[in-house]
Amino acid sequence: MRVATKRIFMRNMLSLGEEWIHVRLVIIGSGAAGLSAVQTIIEKGNTVNVVLITKERQFYALFSLPYFISGEIEEKYLDRFDPQYFKDLGIQMKLDTTVTSVNPKSNSILLASGEEITYDRLLIATGASPIKPPIEGLDKDGVVTLVSLRDSQTILEKLAHKLKHVVIIGGGFIGIESATALNSLGAKVTIIERENQILPRMLDIDTAEIVKQLLQDHDIEVLTSTSVNQILGEDRVKAVQVGQKKIQCELVVVAVGVRPNIDIIKGTKISTNEGILVNEYLQTNVPNIFAAGDVAEALDRATNRLKINAIWPNAISQGRIAAQNMMNQKVQYQGSDAINLINIFDTPVLSIGQTSNEIRDCEVIRIHRNRVYRKLLLCDGKVMGYQTIGDLRNAGFLLHAHRLGADITDVLDSLKKDNLVGQHYWRSNEK
């Protein structure tokens, strides 16, 4: 396989011409977007003057970390690629390396070591970092996040010392995944969420209540509309203070959300909002600088507005398209999707598009049958949001309708009965 890849690489390189030898492409970040960009460059045969800079030592997928903690994935299977593979193809690698700043005026970046690296075109794929809430005691031994392999290894070290009780601050996606992983290892888990529901960015409150009950049925305590006032203990975590109540624990997982890593461009003319603003080519307002992944505020396909939809498939496609445009191929990004899928004790929970809080005025269709709950949000017959628990039937159809902005009024009866609706619908409407 590696020999075949090298042959393709050499053939593509010859087709690109010698001018590419003198164009330096620099990529910051080895997450989904960064590695997708490198893969695309390899496919096109342009690896002669490419530099990948990452703070990591290994190339792994963040979404696999809860499965690593629970023991479902061994550490040796976490790596997506061996860095040596990229080196063999001519990619210059700078592992375990921190970028401190980007200077668009001089087309250069500065490393923590003091080294300066120049670029002709730059891709910023730095991802996001966990938000640290203003809670006293956050610096104690036993307080961790779950956004890196190092975090996972720290948690496993704690588990090795017969960890009994864990408090998770935050009932979002990462918090829930952490809770189910630690619960499977026998720890008593308490989730503390300051909002009035769990998964507030993903689900409506009625859907979230069903998920909350599912967690409680598996002995995970869930406290909503509740905040941690203080983390107690001298050097190590002993408990958390919640109002007048103390909850004993040996580990606190902070999972209140993430923030795009844009510090390296502070003070530059690169435009930002929540993340780095990009156009349809994943290009910033500085023409030779691109951004992709969780750091990029790109077009949302359904709303036609700039938004960060921080999920793996979006990062992969953004990295690929950004790399193509760095090589002058002029490929337009069609937009990201707001899709979240989480598996909770073998029960799939899926959301597509917006929640009721985001849409406000819409038609709501609920279907509750046996252990399956579905909620469809429609505006003028168009799918604005969809949430389902327990069954993914018709999810692909509804995602496609959401992307197209299609009126599905004439198939609502079939959807309510859980009859499968598929490709024949689109074909019949095209006639």
Residue-wise DSSP of 252-305: EEE-S-EEE--GGGTTSS--BSSSEE--TTSB-SSTTEEE-GGGEEEEBTTT-S
Residues 243-290: tens digit of each pLDDT: 999 999 999 999 999 999 999 999 999 999 999 999 999 999 999 999
What's the token pair of residue 116?
A: 């300066």
Distance in angstroms (rounded) separating the CA atoms of residues 99 and 102: 8
Q: Which of 232, 246, 256, 71 is nearest to 142 (CA)?
A: 232
Fold of 2-129+258-326: FAD/NAD(P)-binding domain (3.50.50)
- How do the domains of the chain map onto residue ranges? 2-129+258-326, 143-254, 347-430
pLDDT per residue of the chain (431 residues) written in tens, 0 to 9: 444 444 444 444 434 444 555 789 999 999 999 999 999 999 887 666 999 999 999 998 888 899 999 889 998 888 888 888 898 888 999 999 999 999 999 999 999 999 999 999 999 999 999 999 999 999 999 999 988 888 898 888 887 777 889 999 999 999 999 999 999 988 999 999 999 999 999 999 999 999 999 999 999 999 999 999 999 999 899 999 999 999 999 999 999 999 999 999 999 999 999 999 999 999 999 999 999 999 999 999 888 899 999 999 999 999 999 999 999 999 999 999 999 999 999 999 999 999 998 887 889 999 998 889 999 999 999 999 999 999 999 999 999 999 888 999 999 999 988 887 765 555 555 54
Identity at 219, one-letter amino acid code: D
CATH of 143-254, one of 1.10.40.50, 2.60.40.10, 3.60.21.10, 3.50.50.60: 3.50.50.60
Secondary structure, 3-state, 145-173? CCCCHHHHHHHHHHHCCCCCEEEEECCCH
Asked, colleague to colleague, whether 2-129+258-326 and 347-430 share their fold, the answer is no
What's the token pair of residue 371?
A: 């252990």
Residues 56-72: tens digit of each pLDDT: 999 988 888 999 998 89
Task: Write down the H helix ranges in 292-355.
Answer: 312-326
What's the token pair of residue 81?
A: 């690629």
Distance in angstroms (rounded) separating the CA atoms of residues 165 and 111: 40
pTM (2 d.p.): 0.89
Distance in angstroms (rounded) separating the CA atoms of residues 198 and 330: 41
Distance in angstroms (rounded) separating the CA atoms of residues 28 and 122: 8
Residue 427 pLDDT: 52
CATH of 347-430, one of 3.40.50.300, 3.40.50.720, 3.30.390.30, 3.40.1280.10: 3.30.390.30
